[in-house]
Amino acid sequence: MTCISHSVAETEEIGHELGQRLGPGTVVAYRGGLGMGKTAFTRGLARGLACQDRVTSPTFTIVNEYRGRLPLFHFDMYRLDDSDALFDIGWEDYLDRGGVCAVEWSENVAYAMPEDTVYVTIERHGEHEDWRVITIEGGTEA
């Protein structure tokens, strides 16, 4: 599915709709460069999972956890570029915890994404500063 977002609010809304549909154990892997709106999308995703706490970027902590309808584990893999580091943060354990793992900079750990990962790609759209093309694909749905 591909849609166009014209604002931060719209990106959050698209995240919200996806969040409402996610089941336990889902990995949502973002693709797209700096400032494309991955954290904004995750704020909506968290709302769709009925998480109450405010989502902030896990850039320095690598992973933030939120309680909701399902737990949300929000990763930022920007600084992570080898498999030892992924092992150290306990990636495999998070996968087994029955929550939703939302992964910013999944490009850095592409090899570790499960087969049924939901990919969310966010790109600029044309000349417009605030426009984004958001493509959601993968997962187990047909």
Ligand X SMILES: Nc1ncnc2c1ncn2[C@@H]1O[C@H](COP(=O)(O)OP(=O)(O)OP(=O)(O)O)[C@@H](O)[C@H]1O
* Residue placing its CB nearer to ligand X in the complex, 57 or 121: 57
Span of 4-12, 45-53, 60-68, 87-95 interacting with ligand X by CB under 6 A: 4-12
Tell me, what amino acid is at 11?
T
Range list of β-strands (E), 1-142: 2-5, 27-31, 63-66, 72-76, 100-104, 118-125, 128-138
Task: Tell me, residue by residue from 55 to 74, as one string, x for binding to ligand X by CB under 6 A and - for no binding.
Answer: --x-----------------
- Looking only at the bridges linking them, the beta strands covering 118-125 and 27-31 are parallel
Span of 2-10, 47-55, 64-72, 108-116 interacting with ligand X by CB under 6 A: 2-10
* Residue placing its CB nearer to ligand X in the complex, 43 or 91: 43
